[in-house]
Chain A
Amino acid sequence: MKALRNYIDKIKPHFEKGGKLHMLHSVFDGFETFLFVPNHTSRSGVHMHDARDSKRTMILVVVALIPALLFGMFNIGYQHNLAIGIDPGFWETFIFGLLAFLPQLIVSYGVGLGIEFVTAQYRGEEIAEGFLVSGILIPMIMPVDTPLWMIGVSTAFAVIFAKEVFGGTGFNVFNVALIARAFLFFAYPSHMSGDQVFVRTAGTFGLSNPQMIDGVAQTVDGFSGATMLGQLAITDAPNFTEFSFHSITGGQASLMDMFLGFIPGSVGEVSTLAILIGAALLIITGVGSWKTMLSVFLGGGAVILLINQFAANAIMGMPPLYHFVLGGFAFGAVFMATDPVTSSRTEKGKWIYGFLIGALAIAIRVFNPGYPEGMMLAILFMNAFAPLIDFYVIDGNIKKRLKRSAIKNHERV
């Protein structure tokens, strides 16, 4: 460590003003502060600071995502093996998923951080840590079989047009990861839904290769890669009791399977259990707002119970627990809605904001079967309205103050 520190101190002058590598000072600074806590001391105001900083906060979100990430990667391999009818054992299953996911993660971080570094350098600012979270979220919410170039393009689009043009981390109106997802959803709809994209049937780096006939991977009989919500959207069942979920090989899928995550879907959203572990970490450390999370579920629950009363088809009759474990509802509530920058920033506002996200997500997915991605659209929609919610909350405070002044002035007369 000492040697590393000495080395950094030695090369540092090159990156400072007047040094020959000054043009790369933001990047250097980014790496230096990643390795060592900056030792600038306070010049004005308080003479001591809390140990938590932006890096610590962002890293905690990433840590909270790890359970969902690990399970999701395992599930890629698990679903793949089911689809092609092999069982190579736990580790190979996991490694298959890891190798399928890793390139996506690398592309997402590579493209996103590259743009962050360039813009930070251009503005002469330090590199903000916001993308540490966005970069891992992006591949986690994409269908598992999304081509790498699409991840690259959507990440670039989201980082540039949803974040940097607004001023960078802290100024974006919309959640960056969701913009990347929405970009692909609208630009390449055929790749984003349907029954082909949520299960990886092709092999990865020569692992678990399926039998190929005419360039098409052969799957087991009765295979269908439709997600649970996809199945609901196309079912003929007149009500929920006559409908049953099936796994990709045609067997029955229970509520417990869905809760644990043994279903097709994106890496992040499949296991509600893993998401809840992450949620617990976010709440305990105070990084994520429990008010937002809870109110998303309250809003969703309220609308589901209402719709259940007028059920005219299977999805309208589906009880709340199923809704909560499917279609990224929990993932959105825990990791997307709580993004402090795009969420409502007042405590009262968070209740309203979360409640409306839950309510809208359910409404979209129930009444528009073409959009099982209700959660994504609901959060993006409410991102746009968060400032308005805050405006009214703040206005309440302002009115109280004005009223107090008015009473006082009246008394004086």
Chain B
Amino acid sequence: MKIELLCFPEIKESDFLNKNSFQFKQKQVIYMASRIKIKKGLDIPLMGEPQERFLGEVKSDLLKICPEDFTGVTPKLSVKVGDEVKAGEALMYDRNHPSVKVASPVSGIVTAIERGEKRRILNITVERKDENEFVDYGVKNALSMQPEEVKESILNAGLWFFIKQRPYDVVANPDKDPRDIFVTGFSSAPLAPSYDFILKDQEKDLQAGLDALSKLTKGKVYLSVSPKTKSDALRNAKNVVVTEFEGPHPAGNVGVQINHIAPVNSGEVVWTLNALDVAVIGRLFNTGKVDLTRLVALVGSEVTKKGYYKMLIGTSLNEVLKTIPKPDDSRLRYISGDPLTGRKIDENDVLRAYSSQITVIPEGNNTHEFFGWATLSPTKYSAGATYLSSLISKLNPNKRYRIDARLKGGRRAIIMSNEYDQVFPMNIYPEFLLKSIIAFDIDKMIHLGIFEVAPEDFALCEFVDTSKLEIQRIVRTGLDMLRKEVE
């Protein structure tokens, strides 16, 4: 790991390396950015990057909130069918922490609650009324409030689900004090939207959100930026420590950033967010309203008109997705989120809670490649050098690939070594951690650093894996089982 301190007179580089954290004397100053360079990782050269243009607002009559999005929350309904709700009123809450609620994105009538196996709640549908009525939570300035009041405000407004915690990568437990709070100010995921573009005109909300977060921890709020970040609101944010992360994906993953700034030790809790969600929290303080409007990038090799749409969380995507032409005999895969960690949705599904990106790629289920293992085709992408793509990428770094959803191989036992390590820039042995999870050896899992990771940190491992294992699912299962066991 290479650490470059651009400008920071009070501390020596050696201090930084030894303790892995800054010791600041005063708060309320603008900290200069330090830079951390990440070498391991992979930027998958995908076709269909977003164009920075605004394509309009998408509105749907029915909005759906899907409880499965809120990892770690056991959903309990706050409403029943026929109830009338205002925007910002709770639709559901967490059985284990009733103060954690999920706000309705619009005002209207709850028209349906769909349940699946074992009466699990699949989604809550709200039919929009013509006039959007908001619950008024009052304009507030977080900096002049007590920490408890700030916490109450976010909890009451049903926006707490934006705050996640490590360990376990679940919605944060509001009863515990976080050591620090980490906010990622960019996404390095494939085809990721530009945070700069989305946060334009939301600078005040972002700062208000960061101010609120700074009240929630006795430690520090860390905000990361990438070398490409130009937004002044991010680069010169106040009351936070700004760190620049340079390098390939997953440099933008908050887990990687924590690991390089101040890793989570056993017994500690840190909270994590991304800057886009922080702006939504800030909006609550600046306007007194719960406004879940997001700017969402429509991307992917199959999308003809790439750009950004404005929509509320839970908006039906049908209108947008049906405009994408389908090839005659094959299907498309729609993803709410990025192609590595997003959720597979169908054409009539909705924008999921944490997504700022809708990706459309070919499904590929009708493709039968003859002797695929022997091919020298330049259109096949591999991160390794077993295909020509690595050579082509070197000769032509701008070459982009159209990758479909096939596994492109059979599931095997772990055979190759050092595959995961090359795309896993943390001081953790991913393969051994995975094996301890599969064996559910609790001591080993903890010792090997499971408290520091989230499934998304393993997404690239899963992508490059020749054994085609469901690595993110393994990690998620391990975290859930461990949480049940430990808490």
Residues of A within 8 A of B (CB): 1, 4-5, 33-57, 59-60, 126, 128-130, 167-171, 284-287, 289, 340-341, 343, 345-347, 390, 394, 397-398, 400-402, 404-405, 408-409
Contacts and interface: CB of A to CB of B under 8 A. Distances in A.
B407 A285 contact: no
B473 interface: yes
Given A48-B361, A50-B384, A56-B373, A340 B339 contact: no
Given A35-B371, A394-B432, A51 B413 contact: no
8 contacts: A46-B459, A47-B359, A50-B466, A55-B410, A130-B415, A390-B432, A398-B447, A405-B267
Contacts of B463: 46, 48-50
B466 A405 contact: no
A48 B472 CA distance: 13
Given A59-B373, A408-B268, A286 B384 contact: yes
Contact of A170 (B263, B340, B384, B412): B412
A38 B406 contact: yes
B27 interface: no
A41 B462 contact: no
A52 B387 contact: yes
Interface stretch (B66-74, B96-104, B375-383): B375-383
Given A51-B389, A53-B408, 18 more contacts: A34-B373, A35-B371, A36-B370, A37-B369, A38-B409, A41-B364, A41-B407, A47-B333, A47-B405, A49-B463, A52-B384, A55-B373, A55-B410, A56-B386, A168-B413, A397-B448, A401-B449, A408-B265
Contact of B427 (A44, A53, A347, A397): A397
Contacts of B113: none
B365 A41 contact: yes
B155 to A, nearest CB: 27
A289 B422 CA distance: 13
B386 A169 contact: no
Interface string B392-415: 000000000001111111111111
B60 interface: no
Given A36-B372, A50-B381, A397 B408 contact: no
Given A285-B386, A289-B418, A38 B412 contact: no
Chain B contact residues, majority secondary structure: loop
User: Which residue among A38, A48, A59 has the maximum number of chain B CB atoms within 10 Å of its CB?
Assistant: A48
Contacts of B386: 52, 56-57, 60, 285-287
A47 B472 contact: no
B384 A49 contact: no
B408 A346 contact: no
B416 interface: yes
Contacts of B344: 43, 47
B2 interface: no
Chain A contact residues, majority secondary structure: loop
A169 B413 contact: yes
Nearest to A408: B265
Contacts of A45: 455, 459, 462, 470-473
A50 B383 contact: yes
B408 A51 contact: yes
A5 B372 CA distance: 14
Contacts of A41: 333, 363-365, 404-407
B409 A53 contact: yes
Nearest to A292: B417
Nearest to B340: A46
A171 B413 contact: yes
Contact of A397 (B361, B406, B429, B466): B429
Nearest to A411: B19
User: Which residue among A44, A45, A60, A285 has the maximum number of chain B CB atoms within 10 Å of its CB?
Assistant: A45
Given A167-B413, A345-B417, A47 B372 contact: no
Contacts of A341: 415
A409 B416 contact: no
A394 B448 contact: yes
Nearest to B359: A47
A39 B370 contact: no
A402 B447 contact: yes
B465 interface: yes
A169 B364 CA distance: 29
Interface in B287-313: none
